[in-house]
Chain A
């Protein structure tokens, strides 16, 4: 059974870079059937898609975050990562990694989610 687990600092200072890693177990980030995503949820608010990466390294980011976001993949460690630069308090949120099945030829649903990790931006 595929599982995702986020890891990284829970506290980041304003203007610094938020860095998180998602470790995939029971499956492979090198599979051609999936896109690997980051989604976040500010406290008390809704879900926001950040972006995804394919095992080839191809990425797609939410336009409003594109200038600050980098998602990378490490197939040797079966992990993918998120970097969000120049953070502000508005970036405080629970960050989830999630898998999307693309084997049908279109962007499917987020079928597997990590448990989420809370990141607070504060000095």
Chain B
């Protein structure tokens, strides 16, 4: 059972906009920043969004992040087949004094 809650799966067709939610609590998302990672099978995760809504260099602007209260969302617009991957949210948790991850969302491009 992960501290941050994500839907296990999401899907969309090419060109669509999809969102992935990440629900936490006052000790993590509400009081700390949220980061998002993209992971393809057999490879290491890659930073996609940091500090709630900042895209690292090289990340397409199709990817965007937002946070409100104790929840965060990752949005992918203009969905492409190469976006098919697992997505994880993460945040610092003040109560646990450590990093917590969501359980991950498997995105399928139909």
Q: Please give the residue numbers on chain A whose beta carbons come within 8 Å of chain B beta carbons, in ascending order.
A: 37, 46-49, 51, 60-63, 96, 106-111, 113-116
CA distance A103 to B99 in the complex (A): 17
Question: Which residues does chain B contribute within 8 Å of A61, judged by CB atoms?
Answer: 98
* B32 at interface, CB cutoff 8 A: yes
A48–B99 CA distance with the chains assembled, in angstroms: 8
B50's nearest neighbour on chain A, judged by CB, is A109
B residues near A (Cβ < 8 Å) are: 2, 32-33, 35, 37, 43-47, 50-51, 56, 88, 90, 92, 96-104
Which of A46, A49, A60, A109 has the most C-beta atoms of chain B within 10 angstroms of its own C-beta?
A109
Task: Quote the shortest CB–CB distance from B92 to chain A (angstroms).
Answer: 5
CA separation between A61 and B44, bound complex, in Å? 21
Once A47-B104, A63-B98 are accepted as A-B contacts, the answer to whether A109 and B47 lie under 8 Å apart by CB is yes
State A60–B103 Cα separation when bound (angstroms). Answer: 22
A116, B101: Cβ atoms closer than 8 Å: no
Q: Is the CB of A113 within 8 A of B97?
A: no
The residue in chain B whose Cβ has the minimal distance to the Cβ of A62 is B98
Q: Which listed residue (B2, B33, B44, B98) contacts A114, Cβ 8 A?
A: B44
Query: Once bound together, how far apart are the Cα atoms of A14 and B35, in whole Å?
Result: 34
- Across the interface, B32 reaches (CB within 8 A) one of A49, A106, A111, A114, namely A106
- Distance of A62 from chain B, by nearest CB (Å): 5
CA distance A17 to B44 in the complex (A): 24
B102 close to A46 (CB less than 8 A): yes
Which residue from chain A places its CB closest to the CB of B48 in the assembled complex? A109
In chain A, what residue has the closest Cβ to B92?
Answer: A107
